[in-house]
Amino acid sequence: MIYHATDHDIDAAQIDKDAINIIQRLLDAGFSAYLVGGSVRDLLLKRVPKDYDISTSARPEQVKELFRRQCILIGRRFRLAHIRYGHKIFEVSTFRAGENEGDLIVQDNLWGTPEEDVLRRDFTINGLFYDPTSHSVIDYVGGWEDIHKKVLKSIGNPSIRFRQDPVRMIRLLRFSSRTGFAIDPDTKEALLQLTQEILKSSPARILEEMLKMLESGHSSGFFREMLHAGILKHLFPTLATFLQSRHGKEVYQLLTAADALMKKMPHDRKLTRAVLASALLFPILEKEIDFQFLRKNAVPNFGQVMDLSGHIIHGVLINAFSHFPRKLSSEIHYILSMQYRLTPLSGKRTHGPRLLRQADFIHAVDFLHVRATASPVLSEPYEWWSHLVRGADHHKHR
């Protein structure tokens, strides 16, 4: 099905000029080329696409020959071209065939037609092409209708598609929390049946999807859906149990606060992954400190807070992902422990220049910003520290 310019209201002026340029160069060389996937979906939804993927009949080596030094070929299992324009990178992939019926994907470089290519994609709303020369949307999978009906639906048989690549289940919840679209009943049913398959996926890919979601501005809804679908308990059992407890809502409150800040902050001041991941763990730490110390009328010293944070990071993250990146976990460790310096249990704030010079200190203050957004009583200490950090920053730059 082809939808012409008169059928839709995609504003061509909105589309990245360099993406159009790449498509034009491929067309001039005699290949076919389209925008595909997330960017077409976002343009139809009137959202600004994060990035632009291009699908073409040109093979990776042919793309390389055309774009020379602007282009690098990546991936072994799934060969792709990355084309660089300034600081932007465009992903250019060759139409592929295969995969649709088989179980697990081994060979992924079997070239195909545009139609075969979209049949391998995950959800109908991600399976549209846009042809900038005729300004038309090309739909082989019913994605147009699903976007307008606000429905998320697997391309093909959902059970087969989830078994082939279980990460698609996480992607489904990612799109569902981001768009608010309803999940088609067959797709939902397959998801609920197959949650435990997620354990067959590569931990690195799963972790990447989770971290991306923390950065998305929709993390609170996403974690709620991951819990309710029954996926979270397979991936992060300790966190899943905590979220279901009486204190679980504190995690959602911090995530909601972080989401609000992420939407508001300028690009170069976005919260880091370590700050965002701290939102998952801080309420667990608070509860543990309450349980082990405060209830016994004791106050932990800083070393004890450090030990407990380390223990929780192990229990929640590292036990779940043995390859959890060391740098990330040590940043989280610092941010969590530091909260007890920023808002000491004794109520007595102390600071010295050494503290302000620590590289991650600003991130600890950023996390206090998240806490203060969730509980306004913390605004005063946040403003105080934030003022101090800005002052220290000012001196550094002089």
Positions in the binding site for ligand ATP (CB under 6 A) = 37-38, 50, 53, 121-122, 126, 165, 167-168
- Which entry of ligand ATP, Mg ion, none binds 165, CB below 5 to 8 A by partner kind? ligand ATP
CB of 37 to Mg ion, least distance (A): 6
CB of 253 to Mg ion, least distance (A): 29
| Residue 18 annotated to the active site | no
- Which of 16, 18, 51, 131 is catalytic? The answer is 51
- Which entry of ligand ATP, Mg ion, none binds 225, CB below 5 to 8 A by partner kind? none
Q: Are 372 and 379 in contact (CB under 8 A)?
A: yes
Tokens 């905590």 correspond to what residue?
242
Nearest to Mg ion of 51, 286 (CB atom): 51
> Does 38 contact Mg ion by CB under 5 A?
yes
- Which entry of Mg ion, ligand ATP, none binds 122, CB below 5 to 8 A by partner kind? ligand ATP
- Which entry of Mg ion, ligand ATP, none binds 168, CB below 5 to 8 A by partner kind? ligand ATP
Nearest to ligand ATP of 54, 257 (CB atom): 54
- Which of 42, 53, 184, 366 is catalytic? The answer is 53
Three state DSSP letters for the chain? CEECCCCCCCCHHHCCHHHHHHHHHHHHCCCCEEEECHHHHHHHCCCCCCCCEEEECCCHHHHHHHHHHHEEEECCCCCEEEEEECCEEEEEEECECCCCCCCCCCCCCCECCHHHHHHCCCEHHHCEEEECCCCEEEECCCHHHHHHHCEECECCCHHHHHHHCCHHHHHHHHHHHHHCCEECHHHHHHHHHHHHHHHHCCHHHHHHHHHHHHCCCCHHHHHHHHHHHCCHHHHCHHHHHHHHCCCHHHHHHHHHHHHHHHHHCCHHHCCCHHHHHHHHHHHHHHHHHHHHCHHHCCCCCHHHHHHHHHHHHHHHHHCCCCCCCHHHHHHHHHHHHHHHHHCCCCCCCCCCHHHHHCCCHHHHHHHHHHHHHHCHHHHHHHHHHHHHHHHHHHHHCC
> Does 283 contact Mg ion by CB under 5 A?
no
Nearest to ligand ATP of 53, 225 (CB atom): 53
Closest residue to bound Mg ion by CB: 38
Nearest to Mg ion of 50, 394 (CB atom): 50
CB of 49 to Mg ion, least distance (A): 7
Nearest to Mg ion of 155, 285 (CB atom): 155
Nearest to Mg ion of 53, 259 (CB atom): 53
CB of 375 to Mg ion, least distance (A): 35
Q: Are 381 and 349 in contact (CB under 8 A)?
A: yes
Instruction: Give the footprint of Mg ion on residues 48-77 (CB under 5 A).
Output: 51
- Which entry of ligand ATP, Mg ion, none binds 288, CB below 5 to 8 A by partner kind? none
Nearest to ligand ATP of 91, 288 (CB atom): 91
Q: Which stretch binds Mg ion (CB under 5 A): 44-52, 256-264, 370-378, 383-391?
A: 44-52
CB of 212 to ligand ATP, least distance (A): 7
- Which of 122, 146, 259, 366 is catalytic? The answer is 122
- Which entry of ligand ATP, Mg ion, none binds 121, CB below 5 to 8 A by partner kind? ligand ATP
∠ CA 378-368-383, nearest 5°, is 60
- Which entry of Mg ion, ligand ATP, none binds 224, CB below 5 to 8 A by partner kind? none
> Does 127 contact Mg ion by CB under 5 A?
no
| Residue 42 annotated to the active site | no
Q: Are 328 and 215 in contact (CB under 8 A)?
A: no
| Residue 51 annotated to the active site | yes
Length of the chain: 398
Which residues sit opposite 34 in a β-bridge?
55
CB of 50 to Mg ion, least distance (A): 6
Q: Are 120 and 32 in contact (CB under 8 A)?
A: no
CB of 51 to Mg ion, least distance (A): 5
Closest residue to bound ligand ATP by CB: 38
CB of 304 to ligand ATP, least distance (A): 41
Nearest to ligand ATP of 213, 257 (CB atom): 213
| Strands 53-56 vs 88-94: parallel, antiparallel or unpaired | parallel
The Cα–Cα gap between 156 and 114 comes to 16
Which residues are the active-site residues? Answer: 51, 53, 122
**Contact set with Mg ion (CB under 5 A):** 38, 51
